[in-house]
Structure 1
Amino acid sequence: MEQCDQDTILRSLVDLTKLLDLNPRFLSLLQQKYRVFSQQMVEDILKNETPALELCFMLVKRGPNAYNNFVGALRETNQLEVLSVLEVTRSNLNQPAYQFIPSRETNAIPIRRRNQSGESRDISNGDFNLSNVLYSSSSPQCDEYRRRVLQPPNYIEVDPFQPAPRERSSSFRGSPVTDALPPDYNLLDIRVTIGDEIKGLGQDIYPNRNIFPRGLALIMNFEKFNGDIVGRRVGSEKDVIHLDQLLQQLGYKVIIKSDLTWNETNDELELFTKSEDHTEADSVVVAVMSHGKSGTHDEGTLIYTKDCKFFSSEDLLRRFNNLNCPLLKGKPKIFFFQFCRGDNIDIGHRIAPVVFQSGRTVTDGNPVPTSPTEIERSYGDMLITYSTLPGYVSYREESEGTWFIKALSLTFMRDAHECHVDRLLQIVDEQIRHWTGTRNGKQTLEIIKRGFNRKFYFNPGLWKIQ
């Protein structure tokens, strides 16, 4: 889809979600006549809590004829108010009025690029290309996921409505082995909304220097593990891609570390907390994703490393306190933790749930003396979000990534321009509340504040380049 057409859809989301009539004839036209979506994609749209919003997100990731075919289906179902909204948006974006081209041709076949691990991904509209990246680290490990998905070496074309042959081999020069696999349409198009004015000017607001980059963001993902103690976290690479795109667009210099051993994890955390880049930063974001299990009160949650050793969540947080990381003293330190914290399943109570299960759902896991002297406290300005409660599992869709990171990405890109981070996380939790996994499993975020006593706004896009 052309960039101008994507912008028209995304800037009209509020009205589209209210006005779109997803009646059977409209959906049939999109599927059978214009072939914008497959039957499975239509079913996935209707399963969603907000089907009109889901349709829009999927639409912008279709081929170059998708917008024209969408307009055609609107015209044939007489959705004139929606067509009017789209034309007003185009006018506001200084785009010419759209000229519908009658066509019965199939929507463009999505280009699927193959990476060196043999995985095939849909990038038919140019999603996640490097021209959309605000900042790219030069670190080789940071580029690992980006190279694998953003700039794969070559591509094959497939019919989205037939099983897709996919090549696999240990080397691209070797003889490929083919098998039939369905296309992967499940990467989100992360496009953060830019506000019109800077939010949060006052005494109860964390200072925002409005300079890019605003600070460092560390993403640590553990997908593959030695031995057979815990399984591979299939789908977690999507979380990395989504967070990478989101945090860059929120103004951070993103560092990605994947599948580290215990020693490597310890070294990387040490380097990160001592980085001189924190001197000029106004905040920091740290995301850790792995398998996990319950620890003692002092340990918090035990997080698996690649070599199946553990480091504790409390030890990680301790590294960022005022004593061990003075460069970040007084600055917001935001943590996103995605892992199980035990084996319990929250089965909730019976209501009519919205089932979130487009793929296979799995889980990520397995007295103080006083002093009369006034001293500075060790912890402050920390906002910690665990994907689940102590003792409970955390859900991950093998086709879409974890519930937590998907909901976080969708919410932050839509609302970060006007909401402070506390409110954003409340919205994330409210969205996850409506999703149900296998065995009627539910999930609840745990949001902890340690001296995080002011509001923090991201103000995406409203900064000066240093």
Structure 2
Amino acid sequence: MRSEPRGLALIITNIAYEYYVSRPSAKYDEDNLNILFTEMGFKTIVRRNLTGIEIKKEVKEFSKMKELRRVDAAFIIISSHGHGEYGKQETEIQGTDYLSPNYKSVFCTDIIDYFTAEQCPNLCGKPKIFIFQTCRGNTHQKAVSRNVTDTISTEHPDSEQPYDLSSRNYEDTLIAYATLPGYVSYRDKYTGSWFIQILCEVFMNYACERHIQDLFVMTDRRLKDLRTGHNGCQTLWVINQGFHKHCYLNPGLFHKPGGENK
């Protein structure tokens, strides 16, 4: 990656709700993410307290921005109340009008579908990273004791049809959920959500030398060590959709007009 700006980052944070409990510490997530991506060379677009309909509207407008064709990547980050069911991957993002009479649901898949190769050709062949900081259900994950020794198990056909001029609709996409389907995600009232706090620290310290998949692995490794007072814990869940290259953000490195790097 060498474009300047490096990419565009849409950051949506819901804090105040009409009919539901507010998320005041989420403002720290918003601040930390804005600082992180600005310092990594991204242009950030920050939106706060959106209804379900407004979330879809903002994301759709972002996906149509002409500036996307001139940058190397896009991040779409949504921090909000959310809900799902155990064993089911679908997750609802709850807008600030959640539980109101005219509430319209929005799902993570709705957001992702705005960035297929067909719907967002300006990002075709470019990294698209989605980060969803939401609960995905009401189940609390509990840490368990382990008294066994870890062990390691040791245990496509080629096609003649050229595909270099086409692209799959769902490709070059990473989706990072703060927690597993059906489970809650935790947030500290003083520092913000566990996931976003650790992600910002890891990206800030290691984005200069590690690729994105490694950064998510490092984030989950640190997330593994956190516990609530009732021994609650959290597991990061990352989905790979045709993301087959190592993507280095290279903060601070940009193309100069003559083709040289600066």
Tell me if TM exceeds 0.5: yes
Report how far residue 270 of structure 1 moved: 1.6
Secondary structure at 1:245 match in 2: helix
Residue equivalent to 1:432: 223
Letter in 1 for 2:202: T
Q: Is 1:386 the equivalent of 2:203? A: no
Query: Where in structure 1 are there 5+ consecutive unaligned residues?
Result: 1-207, 352-373
Structure 2 residue corresponding to 1:234, chosen from 24, 47, 61: 24
Structure 1 residue corresponding to 2:11, chosen from 219, 235, 248: 219
Distance 2:41 2:16 in 1: 29
Distance 1:400 1:270 in 2: 30
Distance 2:237 2:75 in 1: 17
Report how far residue 377 of structure 1 moved: 2.6
Provide TM-score, normalisation by structure 2.
Answer: 0.85
**Is the 1:211–1:465 Cα contact (8 Å) retained in structure 2?**
no
Report how far residue 264 of structure 1 moved: 1.8
Runs of 4 or more, structure 1, over 4 Å off, are 295-299
Greater Rg by CA: 1
Distance 1:296 1:425 in 2: 23
Q: Is 1:406 the equivalent of 2:197? A: yes
Higher relative contact order (CA 8 A, sep 6+): 2
Identity, in percent, stands at 35
Letter in 2 for 1:232: S
Say if 1:435 and 1:299 are closer, same or farther in 2 by CA, change over 3 A.
Answer: closer
Report how far residue 221 of structure 1 moved: 0.5
Distance 2:198 2:4 in 1: 25
Say if 1:441 and 1:299 are closer, same or farther in 2 by CA, change over 3 A.
Answer: closer
Structure 1 residue corresponding to 2:45, chosen from 236, 240, 255: 255
Structure 2 residue corresponding to 1:463, chosen from 249, 254, 260: 254
Secondary structure at 1:211 match in 2: coil
Provide TM-score, normalisation by structure 1.
Answer: 0.48
Q: Is 1:317 the equivalent of 2:108? A: no
Structure 2 residue corresponding to 1:306, chosen from 92, 96, 102: 96
Report how far residue 275 of structure 1 moved: 0.2
**Is the 1:299–1:312 Cα contact (8 Å) retained in structure 2?**
no
Letter in 1 for 2:78: V
Report how far residue 437 of structure 1 moved: 1.1
Say if 1:411 and 1:376 are closer, same or farther in 2 by CA, change over 3 A.
Answer: closer
Residue equivalent to 1:6: none
Report how far residue 250 of structure 1 moved: 1.1
Cα deviation code 1:391-441 (max 9, x no counterpart) = 100000010000001100111111111000100110000001000013210
Residue equivalent to 2:132: 337
Cα deviation code 1:135-175 (max 9, x no counterpart) = xxxxxxxxxxxxxxxxxxxxxxxxxxxxxxxxxxxxxxxxx
Distance 2:86 2:112 in 1: 15
Letter in 2 for 1:222: N
Secondary structure at 2:31 match in 1: helix
Residue equivalent to 1:423: 214
Structure 1 residue corresponding to 2:186, chosen from 392, 395, 398: 395
Residue equivalent to 1:272: 62
Say if 1:297 and 1:281 are closer, same or farther in 2 by CA, change over 3 A.
Answer: farther
**Is the 1:298–1:314 Cα contact (8 Å) retained in structure 2?**
no
Distance 2:119 2:86 in 1: 22
Q: How many residues get paired?
A: 234
Distance 2:89 2:176 in 1: 16
State how 1:43-192 maps to structure 2 within 5 Å: none
